[in-house]
Structure 1
């Protein structure tokens, strides 16, 4: 402090950087950001988790399938859910259309694999990128519903028979 004309005057001193405050505030900000991201992810994934639990509940109630796993969703003709499970030691697929409670069961295991589908799309259709390959039902037959990007950048859809690979529907150039 200095004294000017009998008055005490506080001189402005440059404030020092407080490392202790920094080490308290920086982690607090990181924790708040992480919590906000986790909450956002929870809210974003909650509808899919709820749909999966509802589909599994319907499949358990209406069929004798056990060990349910690997649910896929196809939105081509409304929401179609497919769940893998086992019955009497054999792999099965349960397919449910939208909000229906009808469950259609198909044998699983003697059809095209995802690796075979990828190879076929590269060889026959010159795909650049595969967006999805989901199990579904078309005309009471188990099929693969595939969306992919062609070399020219267009979006294409295919419906392939699960066992034979026969093309049922093809939409090109979207």
Structure 2
């Protein structure tokens, strides 16, 4: 094999690997993007959310997707969608604590190094935030927080 053929073969192999990696990443992200897109459509139809700024995926007893955003009349609300049945629950923010307040409270309560996620779903048929966090020692913790009151319901720590 001459030098030109070796270079062409090397470039072809690198291009093939790069295309394979990009295809794999696209396939891995596709279900999440599809769930978000479908959830946003449901949020517009069933909750009147016109501008969304939050998407969450809650996995506890059941899997839920949630969307938060403003309605046409500038009211902030969330819709929680059961991933299996498609059943929806609409909750208005009203006087409920904001996501940022919930994450700050969890971070302070558990002296967390980092908040990983905050997702809205139903726990015992009540809207509940699931906040996952990383402790200073590198372990993971989960705190379920009541949507309306902001009070801690259940904690799993140092996993």
TM-score with structure 2 length normalisation?
0.78
Aligned residue for 2:153, secondary structure, equals strand
Partner of 2:28: 44
Unmatched 5+ residue regions in structure 1?
1-14
The aligned runs of 1:77-116 (5 Å cut-off) are 77-87=61-71, 88-108=73-93, 111-114=97-100, 116=101
Aligned residue for 2:113, secondary structure, equals strand
Aligned residue for 2:56, secondary structure, equals strand
Superposed CA offset, 1:67-95 (max 9, x none): 34532101112211111232122221111
The aligned runs of 1:131-170 (5 Å cut-off) are 131-139=116-124, 141-170=126-155
Aligned residue for 1:31, secondary structure, equals helix
Moved over 6 A (4+): none
Q: Do the aligned partners of residues 41 and 107 (structure 1) sit closer, same or farther apart at CA in structure 2, a change above 3 Å counting? A: same
Higher relative contact order (CA 8 A, sep 6+): 2
Aligned residue for 1:127, secondary structure, equals coil
Superposed CA offset, 1:40-91 (max 9, x none): 1122122222322332333333332223453210111221111123212222
**Structure 1 residue 151: deviation in Å?**
4.1
Cα distance in structure 1, aligned partners of 2:46 and 2:148: 25
The higher radius of gyration belongs to 1
Cα distance in structure 2, aligned partners of 1:158 and 1:139: 15
Aligned residue for 2:41, secondary structure, equals helix
Q: Do the aligned partners of residues 109 and 30 (structure 1) sit closer, same or farther apart at CA in structure 2, a change above 3 Å counting? A: farther
Segment of structure 1 superposing worse, 103-112 or 44-53: 103-112
Superposed CA offset, 1:11-37 (max 9, x none): xxxx8x61x334433332222111101
Q: Do the aligned partners of residues 152 and 68 (structure 1) sit closer, same or farther apart at CA in structure 2, a change above 3 Å counting? A: closer
